Amino acid sequence: MIRKNQTLARVSLFRSLSKEEIAQLDARCVWRRAQEKECILNYKDDSADIYFVAYGDVRVSIQSVAGKDLMLRVIKEGEFFGELSALDGKPRSAAIHAITDTVIARMSPAIFREVIHHYPNVCDQVLETLTGEVRRLTTRVNEFTNLDVRGRIHAELLRLARSDSGGENRGVISPVPTHAEIASRVSTHREAVTRELNRLERAGLLERRRGAFVLLDLAELSASVEAAR
């Protein structure tokens, strides 16, 4: 699996590069496979390389004072992580674990800086990613500050949903995250998520299908989040 997926052509950051340029960068990376649930980076790790996910998905998490794991986001195939330490040389601000079997490329900070200075499109994408991360974290801080558990669960469901062919006011979440995963994302416990999902189902706002949750009224869920602020 590693050799088949061992190319940065699978990473959207390098979409503007030629096959020859990508092949040159492939050779300058260290490639490895991480197994499901394997820790790739620890919080406060003092390494500074940047990582590119060529295959599989990983999760970003931090640990609360009480020792509970709080998931910040999922980094999917074709995305990257570790850019902050690669740019400022400071310890890692979160831990990274493989969700699935994963193939990743590790690039040194020196090579990464060379790439973003040499390719304007890559530089622009990195800047857009960093800006998006600031906006995303600002939104999460706002939610944790102003929303109760129900509101945070609704906001997370809306964030996970993508368009559904059944109508523009409907959304689908697939694959279905476990109740524990949703709880980790919104800093609550699994039982609270189970109760709220059951309540949404009884209210006709959520439908469970094989391998998917269908949100039947996005406008209603959005309105409930706004009302809770």
- Per-residue pLDDT of 86-112, as tens digits, reads 999 999 999 999 999 999 999 999 999
Taking phi over 0 as left and psi of -120 to 50 as alpha, with beta for the rest, 20 belongs to alpha
User: At residue 140, does pLDDT exceed 70?
Assistant: yes
Task: Tell me the C-alpha to C-alpha distance, in Å, between residue 204 and each of 14, 95, 201.
Answer: 43, 37, 5
What was the pLDDT predicted at 187? 87
> Any idea what DSSP says for residue 28?
T
Give the total residue count for the chain. Answer: 229
CB-CB contact of 159 with 151 (8 Å) = no
What was the pLDDT predicted at 165? 76
Cβ neighbors of 26 (< 8 A, separation 6 or more) are 6, 7, 8, 105
User: At residue 1, does pLDDT exceed 70?
Assistant: no
Rounded mean pLDDT, 143-153: 93
Rounded mean pLDDT, 122-144: 93
The two tokens of residue 220 are 């209603």
At 2, is the pLDDT very low, low, confident or very high (cuts 50, 70, 90)?
Answer: low
The two tokens of residue 155 are 């906001």
Rounded mean pLDDT, 171-199: 93
d(CA 49, CA 137): 22
Rounded mean pLDDT, 13-28: 96
d(CA 218, CA 4): 40
Residue 9, exposed/middle/buried by CB under 10 A (0-12, 13-18, 19+)? middle
* pTM assigned to the model: 0.81
The two tokens of residue 173 are 């979440």
Cβ neighbors of 115 (< 8 A, separation 6 or more) are 25, 107, 122
Cβ neighbors of 71 (< 8 A, separation 6 or more) are 59, 60, 61, 181, 184, 185
Q: How far apart are the first and last CA of the chain?
A: 47
d(CA 70, CA 185): 6
What was the pLDDT predicted at 70? 80
> Any idea what DSSP says for residue 225?
H
**CA angle (43 as vertex; 37, 44 as ends), nearest 5:** 150
